[in-house]
Structure 1
Amino acid sequence: MRRLATLTLPFAALAASGCVSTLVDVATAPVKVVSKGVDLATTSQSEADEKRGREIRRREERLAKLERQYEKQLDECEEGNRRSCSEARDTYAEMQQILPTIPVEPEDD
Structure 2
Amino acid sequence: MLRSDTGRWILGDHAQAHAEAPLTSRMPRSGLANHIIDRTFVAGGERWIIDYKTVRCDDAQPRAFLERHAEERYRAQLERYVALYEGEACRCVQQFSTSCRTSL
TM-score, structure 2 length as denominator? 0.27
Query: Which protein is bigger by CA-based radius of gyration?
Result: 1
Higher relative contact order (CA 8 A, sep 6+): 2
| TM-score, normalisation: structure 1 | 0.27
Q: Report which of the two has the higher share of strand.
A: 2
